[in-house]
Amino acid sequence: MKLFAYAVRDYDELPYLEALSKELGFEFGYTSEYPSMSNAELAGGYDSLSIITNPLDAELLARFHELGVRGVSTRTIGYDHIDLEAAERLGIRVANAPYPPTGVADYTIMMILMALRKAKLISAAASYQDFGLTGKIGRPLSSCTVGVVGTGQIGEAVCRRLAGFGCRILASDPYEKDALRDIVEYTDLDTLLAASDVVTLHAPGLPQNTRMIDAAAFARMKEGVVLVNAARGVLVDTAALMDAIESGHVGAAALDTIENEANLYYHDLSRKALPNRDRAVLMSYPNVIVTPHMAFYTDEAVESMVANSCRALLAFSRGDDSPFEVHAS
């Protein structure tokens, strides 16, 4: 196998990639650039392609196919940035790269606690020596009903961590897990939204889930609800969220991902006008935490993502099955 990797970070991913190439016996080339029509030629002579959360549309896939690429793996658990239907038409096999759920689950709990205890407001006020208590009173997690939307691996890990706080946990998922019934109450989404003090999202970014949390969903929620999203930005209608925050109906939000964030992360834009007005507005609210899609970011996760991406591509190159392969339907 000859693998070309785009958007490689030399400070964390590259050492793992170098070690794996020696261990598993494949050649690789790489660039820190994101794939585009202008740099697709870099993949010439390679049969496998590794990317991250950058759009891979039909036109770009066709160009890579012309260059001889027959397998693509994203070094992420999400894969909605790849046109799977176009890939299947071209005969390009596609894989994602699962990683342990612990990092995102821990990060989710951190964001819930920060939102409930108004950590952003307290920290900002302390920076200009406002040490008063006015407007900073928080709420203990143990007193809350928490609604977990999606109980896949990450959602399940979140539920198990929440159980330690003694809060009531509601859950909604098309595929209920018997193993969770001792700590959660499964219910439908509408009931969960109406009953929860905190709603945390862990559903996949599938077309049927796009903007599942819209104006109608916010209207069903409790006054002062806390919304947490460490899953996929497309799950939440950003305009509806901003309306709900400004009206006071949503008491706080903690967001690791938002709509239209492609080509925003993971770049240093500190010297540029932010090319995302929604993010700029959300960051201006004292009760909204916005982090740059890094709930996954632990050493354990990065190693797993690079390794699983490479292993899937090796399987493709041999004509074998891979547990990480994904399909359009």
Active site residues: 232, 261, 293
Report yes or no: 62 and 36 within 8 Å, Cβ to Cβ. Answer: no
Closest C-alpha to 281, from 238, 322, 229: 238
Question: For residues 49 and 6, is the Cβ–Cβ distance under 8 A?
Answer: yes
Q: In a 10 Å sphere around its CB, with 0-12 CB exposed, 13-18 middle and 19+ buried, how is residue 299 labelled?
A: exposed
Give the CA-trace dihedral at 159, 171, 289, 294, to 10 degrees: 60
Q: Is 265 in contact with 76 (CB distance < 8 Å)?
A: no
CB atoms within 10 A of CB 55: 15
User: Who contacts 214 (Cβ-Cβ below 8 Å, separation ≥6)?
Assistant: 237, 240
Half-sphere exposure of 140 (CA within 13 A, CB side): 7
